[in-house]
Structure 1
Amino acid sequence: MKLNIIKKISLSVFLLLTVCTCERDDICPEDVPTTPRLVVEFFDLSNQENIKDVTNLLVQGVGNDETLSGLGGGSTVNTVQLPLKTDENSTQFRFVKDYAINDNGTPNDSTDDFATGNEDIITINYITENVYVSRACGYKTIYKAVNIQFDVDDIDRWIALAQPLNDNQSIEDETTTHFKFFHQ
């Protein structure tokens, strides 16, 4: 009988300690920064202090059929945010200026339609680093030693220059511009 009471007390103490040390499930607040996107702002090549819109811009990851949200070809913008791959050390994008669909004179037949515009392919190279945020939010990826390369064979490039805002550019948040793209 005494052994039974000791077992019950021990079980009760164990359960009480277990319940007291458990915490409710944490939820990552929306205002906590997660993996940042690369922020690019477009500037006028001939007057490099002036921001310059890009008309009918289409931005699409190379090897991806979907365009970036809001950048499907009808957008005129001066800033874009690019999601970078977290499991690789480079990401490629297609930037198509003055993007349009030519219906080839047959508006009711989409089989002969084709895309027009000036396409530039850029490659963004970087080193990834996972940084602990919190128990609820887990880890985020930041990008270090970020640089941008253009397709060297493109003789009709509309993006003339990509300039990082800092030497040894890193991307740790998406609240500021990381690169300036200069174009005509």
Structure 2
Amino acid sequence: MKHYKILAILFGIFTIMTIGCEPDDICPESTPTTPSLIIRFYDISNQENKKNVFKFRIQGVDNDAPLPNYNIVTTDSIVLPLKTDATSTQYKLHEDYTYNDNGTPDDTSDDTIGGNEDIITINYSTEEVYVSRACGYKTIFKNVTLTIEPDADNWIQSKESLTENQSVEDETAAHFKLFH
């Protein structure tokens, strides 16, 4: 009989400990975090039709490395991360990108880059939003604007924000259209 009492007490202690435990402090991968800006490309002649950009490459301004997944690809949409510690982000968008090292891969002085490069500037304000104890905070972007820097040969002809006072709070829909 004593053994049953001890087992009952141990079971009670175990039950109280299990109920009182906190869940693991691991942020699930399915939890939305800081969103990226989504841009879709459209045909300037028929603005309801999406249009691919060929031999497409993206890189940050002052950065020679291409953005992952955007090094000489064909696409009609892009997902761009924005800087959370700044109020603007700039990208170089290349159409018909080519690179020629002239047979001297160790000498960059004779390298040539072809194609048409346009620079876009994205301006915004940031806001920190609490997600959970495990996930911490995420940054959302408010009053987002996009500017196409003018040059002698812009391949991006115009842009359109999909909402007034554009914000980037999730990645469920496009935020801007670029026409070419």
Which of 116, 119, 144 is the equivalent residue of 1:118? 116
- Code of the residue aligned with 1:87 in structure 2: it is D
Which of 78, 85, 109 is the equivalent residue of 2:104? 109
Who is 2:67 aligned against?
68
Counterpart CA distance in 2 for 1:65 and 1:129 is 29
Who is 1:168 aligned against?
165
Deviations along 1:28-74, whole A, 9 cap, x unmatched? 111110000000000000000000000011101112232111111x2
Which of 58, 75, 96 is the equivalent residue of 1:98? 96
1:28 to 2:27 alignment: yes
Q: Normalization by structure 2: what TM-score?
A: 0.84
Identity of aligned residues (%): 54
Please give the secondary structure, in 2, of the residue aligned with 1:92. strand
Q: Normalization by structure 1: what TM-score?
A: 0.82
- Code of the residue aligned with 1:29 in structure 2: it is P
**Aligned-CA RMSD value:** 1.8
Who is 1:54 aligned against?
53
Counterpart CA distance in 2 for 1:56 and 1:155 is 20
**For structure 1, which segment, 28-37 or 60-69, has the greater mean C-alpha deviation from structure 2 after superposition?**
60-69
Please give the secondary structure, in 2, of the residue aligned with 1:123. strand
Deviation at 1:175, TM superposition (A): 1.4
Counterpart CA distance in 2 for 1:170 and 1:180 is 14
Counterpart CA distance in 2 for 1:48 and 1:145 is 24
Deviations along 1:122-165, whole A, 9 cap, x unmatched? 1100010010111111100000100011223x020001111110
**For structure 1, which segment, 24-33 or 76-85, has the greater mean C-alpha deviation from structure 2 after superposition?**
24-33
Q: Number of residues paired by the alignment?
A: 162
Who is 2:8 aligned against?
none
Deviations along 1:80-124, whole A, 9 cap, x unmatched? 000000010000000010001135xx4x33333311010001110
Counterpart CA distance in 2 for 1:22 and 1:28 is 17
Counterpart CA distance in 2 for 1:21 and 1:46 is 64
